[in-house]
């Protein structure tokens, strides 16, 4: 969990993924489309990946990846991110966290 928090606070937009996860790929593309450059951490490449995955599940992230943090705050997985994007909240969150400017 500490490792998650540590990484999540390092950049305005942070996404935890797995290299084989295609849904993670979708979410990354969405962020790029919005002009954000999120920090991407692949759990299957992290030393404590398993622990981190359990920690994310503990946060209520289901499925555990992709797990999105904006401004250090846990936003959710795919469903949450897409829902927030549809009503315009995602963009606003990214602006507020200075991940993007417009």
Partner 1 sequence: MADVSPRTDTSTDADTEDKNLRFQINQSQDMVASDGSDKYRDQKTLRRLAQNREAARKSRLRKKAYVQQLESSRMKLTQLEQELQRARQQGIFVSSSGDQSQSMGGNGALAFDVEYARWLEEHNRRINELRGAVNSHAGDGELRIIVDGVLAHYDSIFRIKGDAAKADVFHILSGMWKTPAERCFLWLGGFRSSELLKLLINHLEPLTEQQLSSINNLQQSSQQAEDALSQGMEALQQSLAETLAGSLGPSASSGNVANYMGQMAMAMGKLGTLEGFIRQADNLRQQTLQHMHHILTTRQSARALLAINDYFSRLRALSSLWLARPRE
What residues make contact with partner 1 under the rule CB under 8 A?
A: 20-23, 25-27, 29-30, 33-34, 63, 78-79, 82-83, 85-88, 91
Q: In the bound complex, what is the minimum distance in angstroms from residue 31's beta carbon to partner 1?
A: 9
- Taken as a whole, the chain contains a residue count of 102
- As measured in angstroms, the least distance from the Cβ of 30 to partner 1 is 4
- Estimate the share of the chain in helix, then strand, then coil, as percent rounded to the nearest 5: 50, 15, 35
Phi, psi of 19 (to 5 degrees): -60, -30
The nearer residue to partner 1, 9 or 29, going by C-beta atoms, is 29
């Amino acid at each position: 969990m500490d490792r998650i928090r540590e990484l999540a606070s390092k950049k305005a937009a942070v996404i935890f993924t797995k290299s084989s996860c295609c849904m993670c790929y979708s979410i990354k593309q969405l962020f790029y489309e919005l002009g954000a450059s999120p920090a991407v951490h692949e759990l299957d490449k992290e030393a404590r990946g398993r622990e981190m995955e359990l920690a994310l599940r503990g946060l209520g992230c289901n499925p555990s990846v992709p797990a999105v943090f904006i401004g250090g705050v846990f936003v959710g997985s795919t469903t949450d991110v897409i829902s927030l994007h549809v009503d315009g909240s995602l963009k606003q969150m990214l602006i507020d966290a200075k991940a993007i400017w417009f």
